[in-house]
A and B are shown apart, each in its own frame.
Chain A
Amino acid sequence: MEKFEKMTAIAAPMPLINIDTDMIIPKQFLKTIKRSGLGVSAFHEMRYQMDGTENPDFILNQGAYRNANIIVAGDNFGCGSSREHAPWALLDFGVRCVISTSFADIFYNNCFKNGILPVIVTDEELNLLMNDAEKGSNARMVIDLESQRIETSDGEVIKFDVDQHRKHCLINGLDDIGLTMEKMESIDSFEKKMAKNTPWI
């Protein structure tokens, strides 16, 4: 997993609430057996018209936002299915950070497993960031995970919370499985205890 430390990038405003995983990556792209290559299909039904051409009204088809690496989104981003194809598609498009007032639980988890930082902010903070994102190519937002700060293009600073274990893994690009493997003795002894206590399992 790629490390996440600090980034300065264009942020795309997507104020719609309840942007679900079917919007982020529709079903027909879940048939892949790989993790890569989904970026071109991210937000497919919003991004492309029925004839396959780009929808000019969609934010990520507009000017500087084609190169956005941050999304500022309405409430409950990523609701719906557990498909990790959603963060894979965002990552492959180039998105490394999503900011919203809330995220669906499984999507939120999946982001951290893929080097994407989901940031939860208040309603007022989201308004501020949405306005900043709407400035387009003139605006660069700074996301600093180490100090847990977002800086708008005007230099306004917003602090955010993040789970310290997840932060550690993200900053160091650590693989969960490797970390858990170090605790194999605990798992072994737990399994022995379970075999005695609940042998029907």
Chain B
Amino acid sequence: MAPKTLYDKIWDAHVAHQGEDGTCLLYIDRHLVHEVTSPQAFEGLRMSGRKVRAPEKTIAVPDHNVPTTLDRLKRIDNEESRIQVEALDKNAREFGVVYYPVDDIRQGIVHIIGPEQGWTLPGMTIVCGDSHTATHGAFGSLAHGIGTSEVEHVLATQTLIQKKSQNMRVEITGKLSQGVTAKDITLAVIGETGTAGGTGYVIEYCGEAIQSLSMEGRMTVCNMAIEGGARAGLIAPDETTFNYCNGRPNAPTGKLWGAAVDYWRTLFSDDTAHFDKTITLRGEDIAPVVTWGTSPEDVLPITAIVPAANDFNGGKVDAAQRSLDYMGLTPGTRLQDVEIDAVFIGSCTNGRIEDLRAAAEIVQGRKVQDGLIAMVVPGSGLVRLQAEEEGLAEIFKQAGFEWRLAGCSMCLGMNPDQLGPQVRCASTSNRNFEGRQGRGSRTHLMSPAMAAAAAVTGKLTDVRELM
């Protein structure tokens, strides 16, 4: 048999039909649904008299619009947000899909609760009307975002019309230095490839530094594959993966568990498998990083200075100038001298328990700088509960952080958690686009430990100095 990549293997196992022109119908094992990208799809089903083909493989949760304040179980004030959440509630119940409503302790960001509840397992195909579906690739499953028309297509047929992508391998060799995390890896890779570098590819992350990561770290890495332009990121499953999955509510048990693990052990890229593109970074070379601009590719080590537009070439010169203007930064300024106004710890990138532990470790015994907006938003109700049991919530509260309920929150500000114009935020989220956290707001992406460090100093900070 010809050698195959991990992506090839998962793809081949899911082709339900192949047309003469190579267009495939790819069978979808799990379909995650949230309130923003699904109402038009359910309406489409209703208008054409179609049903959800596999409601038991369809998991719905409201996350983008939900307030994160403690009083959220009363009505959502914003009418449009309320209508959208109510529409999901109605659609989920009417079409009989698996559903975690806002008052369920298991509610949370769709990409946090999928793995948490054991819906995400190795070797699966997973889609969601959300680009950060790439997160689930951490389990060695083929997972990517789709548009609403495709959501409707999957609801109706449990398949997706697809053409195969190319294979790209991103290897991170060696070990990470102190203060360097999964977030720094994934940002460093995007800094290397650019935001279009992965377009048309599925990325497989490998190498010692990747294998050494926990499942949560791996999810952070794969989560931002989309920021590098790749539809999906993958990491081959191993004992770390199996241990994470074992005992999850929807993971197989008994004999089925054994059969599943036997199959999952076959999911790796063969030694001589062909990759169309390979990138290698040394783990030792990666520093704690932050973004300075308005594209996730605008990545620099925290020890660097703000670049000038003419440090770049081609179309990037104008784009960089626009970014500098928008971000209110002067070339030559030390990044560590940039003062911030807000800190956001959360999102599908960094809203898991290990992220909160890493942030709490820096915050413990310290105070958030006076006048800063600072909030911690756990990725799910269960993450929140665990953080409270471990005493992390208390550490954050004592330091002066707001301790919120689960949701997407200030990652994109569809709920009331938004920043004002020119407000500068150290954020653990995934996009620093213009207006992302509120019109005119300025986002610097970084790891939870780095965001925590910025909170206590009031500036972009090298976390290693606080360790």
Contacts and interface: CB of A to CB of B under 8 A. Distances in A.
A180 B80 contact: no
Interface in B192-237: 195-196, 199-200, 229, 231
B153 A17 contact: no
B149 interface: yes
B196 A181 contact: no
B157 A180 contact: yes
B147 interface: yes
A45 B157 contact: no
Given A32-B80, A181-B157, A16 B433 contact: no
A115 to B, nearest CB: 11
A126 B251 CA distance: 50
Given A31-B81, A165-B19, A200-B252, A82 B37 contact: yes
A74 B64 CA distance: 30
Nearest to B318: A16
Contacts of B21: 163-165
B333 interface: no
A155 interface: no
A81 B25 contact: no
A201 B26 CA distance: 15
A80 interface: yes
B83 interface: yes
Contacts of A165: 19, 21, 23, 161
Contacts of A15: 315, 318
B347 to A, nearest CB: 13
A33 B39 CA distance: 5
Contacts of B87: 33
Contacts of B43: 33
Contacts, number: 185
Given A82-B145, A176-B149, A17 B231 contact: no
B196 A75 contact: yes
Contacts of A79: 195-196, 229
Interface in B116-154: 121, 123-124, 129-131, 133, 144-150, 152-153
A198 interface: yes
Interface string B139-183: 000001111111011001111010100000000000000000000
Interface of B: 16-17, 19, 21, 23, 25, 27, 29, 36-37, 39-40, 43, 48, 50, 57, 64-65, 78, 80-81, 83-84, 87, 121, 123-124, 129-131, 133, 144-150, 152-153, 156-159, 161, 163, 195-196, 199-200, 229, 231, 251-252, 256-257, 259-260, 263, 295, 315-316, 318-319, 322, 412-414, 421, 431, 433-436, 439-440
11 contacts: A17-B315, A27-B412, A28-B414, A82-B129, A109-B146, A113-B147, A114-B149, A165-B21, A180-B25, A199-B259, A200-B121
